[in-house]
Structure 1
Amino acid sequence: MKLSALLERLEYECVQGSLDTDVRSVVNDSRKAEDGALFFCIKGAVSDGHKYAAEVAKKGASVLIVQDEVEVPENVTVIKVADSRYAMALISAAWFGYPARQLKVIGITGTKGKTTTTYMVKSILESAGHKVGLIGTIEAIIGDEVMPASNTTPESYTIQEYFRKMVDEGCDCVVMEVSSQGLMLHRTAGVQFEIGIFTNIEPDHIGPAEHSSFEEYMACKGLLFRQCRIGIVNADDKHLDQVLEGHTCKIETFGFSENADLRASDVKLVKEPGYLGVSYRASGLIDMDVEIDIPGKFSVYNSLTAIAICLHFGVSRDNIRQALKQAKVKGRIEMIKVSDDFTLMIDYAHNAMSLKSLLTTLREYQPKRLVCLFGCGGNRSRARRYEMGEVSGQLADFTIITSDNPRFEKPDDIIADIETGIKKTEGEYIRIPDRKEAIAYAIHNGRPGDVIVLAGKGHEDYQEIEGKKHPMDERVLIAQILKEDRAGA
């Protein structure tokens, strides 16, 4: 492909070489540089791609995209841009033939609710006959192909590659999580979103290598509403006006507010043996009764969002109602049936804020006992361990402290830190370092009316110990425990 074609949507300066150069591949990893490659010199948090300019030129790269000066042989074309990350997004789109133009792209941003909402939207649209791609925190889904995710919003090249595969697979739309980091780092630059969603915002992701302040975090979230046609936003969020500052799209609202375009009322908690859910009445843009097999007020918000999106695709009430009942998200309040006496679920809550939100939600169902099993990751903030211990001690009736991803720390040392937090409360607890043994204890000691939550691992299917990821899926552990129980009966 000619370099000139790749640069057609970009402002740039040709420092040396020719725009007539042929490009055979597009890369931002110096190890993948080859004959005829176009290489992006990206200034990252850990390394600067400009340092590898001479190395990739030696490997045969024919074009470098830079934002700083580099010294390379005269036969290498050097294109200077204001921001090489932004350039990577636009060039990647051109490289794959602008696949987003053939898709209805739905982007969801917010502190919480992104993952669950994407799966709800996918479920509803597919029930109405659409073929839907998904890009998110857990995985990317293209047809029958499922790829584990490393970032909530992948690098721009990967996004465009996924879009291309989706178009080739016959997808007509894609729903994706759009993180503030992804927006700040231009990973979705040049993508015209059909619909942009704002779920909610709370102080999070603030610190080194993330956002410098809550204000910057909100501003980055708001970037989505300058590159979408329709914005669907949470009318109840107190920071809504700040997030929408400078928006260029048509706005629709959802929430509990009487002023919201799509409103929820008459919310009822649904509780049956081994099952928790919520029902409500939706009114405004559509009038219908809704029931979801995921507990809590936030599930009402997530489903309202999904309904508001799907109304733009002409989905019927019956399809919406049926699809919402079937929507499941791996590791997000994922209920696993093990008994008619008590409810067991798996959730990804892995910090104090998410654990507090989860346990507060489950408390509303007035369980006989609320049992929380969790651990904390090694080589991470010790403060997180104290905080999570204190939260569980305050909100759960009984805590089972176990191992999570110990990494290069000893599980017992991590558990001791969690104990420091839980001892500030009057909460009862037990230490069981082996996670399978801890889960078996929770199941064997479950009482009628209990709600038991296995927190922290969620969708993860491994345990990271001393630099290696060992297979460990809590669903598999539960199945093994039940099989062993039957064999020993």
Structure 2
Amino acid sequence: MRLADLIDGLDILYIRGNLNVDIEGIAYDSRKVRNGYLFVCIDGLKADGHKYVQQALKNGAAAFIAQKPLMQETEAPVIIIRNTRIALAYVSDRFYGHPSGRFNLIGITGTKGKTTTCFMIRSILETAGRKTGMIGTLGVRIGDRMLHSERTTPESLDLQQLFSQMADEGVEDVVMEVSSQGLALHRVRYCEFDTGVFTNLARDHISPSEHGSMEEYLEAKSMLFRSCKTGLVNKDCSYSERVIGKACCRILTYGMESEADIKAVNPVYLPGAVRFEMVSPWYHRSFSVMIPGRFSVYNALAAASVSGVSGIPADAVAGGLEKVQVPGRAETVDTGRNFSVIIDYAHTPDSLQNILEAVRGYTAGKVICVFGCGGDRDRTKRSMMGIVSGQYADYTVITSDNPRTEDPDVIIKEIEEGIKTTSGRYICITDRREAIRHALTAAAAGDVVVLAGKGHETWQVFSDRTVHFDEREVVREIIDKDF
């Protein structure tokens, strides 16, 4: 594709060189540049692409897009624009022929519920016989094939490549998690979303490396509803009216408590499942999900609402919801013992409360909670999570999560400050494996041990290393050795 055609329509500040050159590919990582590539210089959080122009030239770069003057002399054309992230999204979309327009694209945003809602929608669509792609925290799926992904929402170039691949393979629907960072950093800009979903908003991702405030976080989430055709908004969330006020699309609301276009009524909470009746423009019938808790009703209601907008038959919705399974989300580990173990990704005060309340609703014995907080993340939620576990669990084992560059014992002390204000019993054990061992040893008949925070993750991140750590394996090893 000619460079002149590729950049046509961009808000350009300055051009140097001949634009009548053929572009064979695009890269934002100089190590991936090949002959004839356009190199887009991204000034990122960890590295500045403008410093790698020489390497890009050495690898065969034919042109550059930058947002500041290049230090290296080059005869290759250079286009200067205000924001290279926007430019990367623009040229990637054009280079791959706007692939998001070739299928039904569904985007899910919100603090909690994105992954589960995506899995529910995928299950429903596949039950309806549609070939489906999925992009999110747990990787990329094209039909039954799974691909690795570094981010919940891939960089715009990688995303458009995936979209193009999916469209070429006959995918009819793509459902994806749209993170606040993905929105703020323009990774999904120029994507043609048919339906967007806002699940909820709670304090998370507030840090110097993410969002500076809740207001900034909200603004990022709201961006999705300025680029989709239909928006589905959880009316029971306190931020819903503000999201609706920022939207530029048709909006439908869903909920359990507020007056909404789509309602879940008469919920029944069962051990390991929920059942509810949906009242909507498309369906008026009962649905069941094999994931416990009130939050599962909201996720299933959102998934069924997307299905309604997409024209999916009610029987496919029912079948898809009944058989959906989500790794690391209220996931039961078979121990062969008279107590239960549940692994859940809960890593915010709200999500921890949700899973503990759900488990409390059907547990005959004690609820034992094992959790920690991630390092280099929002510190204010640590004491809050301590309070939640102290209030909703009978016994808490405070431990390490992914401490990253922080001292895990310092993180634990900050959690402890919160739980001390409650009457909840607790112990602090820094080593997560030993913390799990202690919890399993403390469990009696009818108890439920909740391992919160890691969920689907199979690793633990320290300042100097990342180690393999799969809680399913850890539980089974401890059970086999000590019980």
TM-score by length of 1: 0.90
Equivalent of 1:283, from 279, 285, 299? 279
Which whole-Å deviations, capped at 9, do the CAs of 1:438-487 have from their partners, x for residues lacking one? 434433443333222011211110123453222221112223334446xx
TM-superposed CA distance for 1:302, in Å, is 0.7
TM-superposed CA distance for 1:307, in Å, is 0.5
Which whole-Å deviations, capped at 9, do the CAs of 1:110-132 have from their partners, x for residues lacking one? 12111110000001000111111
| Percent identical residues | 44
Q: Determine if contact 2:363/2:448 at 8 Å carries over to the other structure.
A: no
Q: Determine if contact 1:9/1:90 at 8 Å carries over to the other structure.
A: no
What CA distance in whole angstroms lies between the structure 2 residues aligned with 1:182 and 1:121?
21
Moved more, 401-410 or 100-109: 401-410
Which whole-Å deviations, capped at 9, do the CAs of 1:317-354 have from their partners, x for residues lacking one? 22211211211211111122335743321011224343
Moved more, 66-75 or 76-85: 66-75
Q: Determine if contact 1:156/1:188 at 8 Å carries over to the other structure.
A: yes
Q: Determine if contact 2:85/2:186 at 8 Å carries over to the other structure.
A: yes
Moved more, 37-46 or 83-92: 37-46
| CA separation of 1:416 and 1:201: change in aligned 2, threshold 3 A | closer
Equivalent of 1:308, from 299, 305, 310? 305
Partner of 1:7: 7
Q: Determine if contact 1:57/1:72 at 8 Å carries over to the other structure.
A: no
Alignment-mate amino acid for residue 340 of structure 2 = T
Gaps of 5+ in 1: none
Q: Determine if contact 1:368/1:449 at 8 Å carries over to the other structure.
A: yes
Partner of 2:230: 230
Which whole-Å deviations, capped at 9, do the CAs of 1:123-146 have from their partners, x for residues lacking one? 100011111111112212123432
Q: Determine if contact 2:273/2:289 at 8 Å carries over to the other structure.
A: yes
What CA distance in whole angstroms lies between the structure 2 residues aligned with 1:57 and 1:249?
43
CA RMSD in angstroms comes to: 2.6
Partner of 1:422: 419
TM-score by length of 2: 0.91
3-state SS of 1:90 partner: helix
| CA separation of 1:466 and 1:167: change in aligned 2, threshold 3 A | same
Equivalent of 2:314, from 317, 326, 340? 317
1:395 matched to 2:427? The reply is no
Q: Determine if contact 1:62/1:75 at 8 Å carries over to the other structure.
A: no
Partner of 2:215: 215
Which whole-Å deviations, capped at 9, do the CAs of 1:88-124 have from their partners, x for residues lacking one? 0111122223221212110111121111100000010
What CA distance in whole angstroms lies between the structure 1 residues aligned with 2:43 and 2:405?
29
What CA distance in whole angstroms lies between the structure 1 residues aligned with 2:212 and 2:193?
27
Which whole-Å deviations, capped at 9, do the CAs of 1:8-37 have from their partners, x for residues lacking one? 453435611122112233111233334322
Alignment-mate amino acid for residue 385 of structure 2 = M
Alignment-mate amino acid for residue 89 of structure 2 = A
Which whole-Å deviations, capped at 9, do the CAs of 1:192-246 have from their partners, x for residues lacking one? 1111111122343334233333333222222211211111111222322221234
Q: Determine if contact 2:156/2:186 at 8 Å carries over to the other structure.
A: yes
Alignment-mate amino acid for residue 371 of structure 1 = I
| CA separation of 1:144 and 1:321: change in aligned 2, threshold 3 A | closer
What CA distance in whole angstroms lies between the structure 2 residues aligned with 1:311 and 1:378?
40
TM-superposed CA distance for 1:264, in Å, is 0.8
TM-superposed CA distance for 1:294, in Å, is 1.4
Partner of 1:371: 368
| CA separation of 1:319 and 1:393: change in aligned 2, threshold 3 A | same
What CA distance in whole angstroms lies between the structure 2 residues aligned with 1:112 and 1:375?
18
What CA distance in whole angstroms lies between the structure 1 residues aligned with 2:253 and 2:316?
22
Q: Provide the aligned length of Structure 1 versus Structure 2.
A: 482
Moved more, 150-159 or 210-219: 210-219
Moved more, 336-345 or 17-26: 336-345
3-state SS of 2:61 partner: coil
5 Å-filtered alignment, 1:469-488, equals 469-484=466-481
What CA distance in whole angstroms lies between the structure 2 residues aligned with 1:417 and 1:300?
33
TM-superposed CA distance for 1:431, in Å, is 4.3
TM-superposed CA distance for 1:266, in Å, is 0.8
1:112 matched to 2:112? The reply is yes
TM-superposed CA distance for 1:169, in Å, is 2.7
TM-superposed CA distance for 1:357, in Å, is 3.4
3-state SS of 1:362 partner: helix
Alignment-mate amino acid for residue 194 of structure 1 = D
TM-superposed CA distance for 1:64, in Å, is 0.8
What CA distance in whole angstroms lies between the structure 2 residues aligned with 1:190 and 1:379?
32
5 Å-filtered alignment, 1:152-163, equals 152-163=152-163
Q: Determine if contact 2:92/2:156 at 8 Å carries over to the other structure.
A: yes
TM-superposed CA distance for 1:77, in Å, is 0.5
Q: Determine if contact 2:206/2:378 at 8 Å carries over to the other structure.
A: no
Partner of 1:181: 181
Moved more, 413-422 or 335-344: 413-422
What CA distance in whole angstroms lies between the structure 1 residues aligned with 2:408 and 2:211?
31
Which whole-Å deviations, capped at 9, do the CAs of 1:384-425 have from their partners, x for residues lacking one? 544433432232111123343344666556545544543443
Q: Determine if contact 2:363/2:447 at 8 Å carries over to the other structure.
A: no
What CA distance in whole angstroms lies between the structure 2 residues aligned with 1:346 and 1:79?
50
What CA distance in whole angstroms lies between the structure 1 residues aligned with 2:156 and 2:401?
31
Q: Determine if contact 1:57/1:73 at 8 Å carries over to the other structure.
A: no
Alignment-mate amino acid for residue 396 of structure 1 = A
3-state SS of 1:51 partner: helix
Moved more, 24-33 or 424-433: 424-433
Partner of 2:141: 141
TM-superposed CA distance for 1:434, in Å, is 4.2
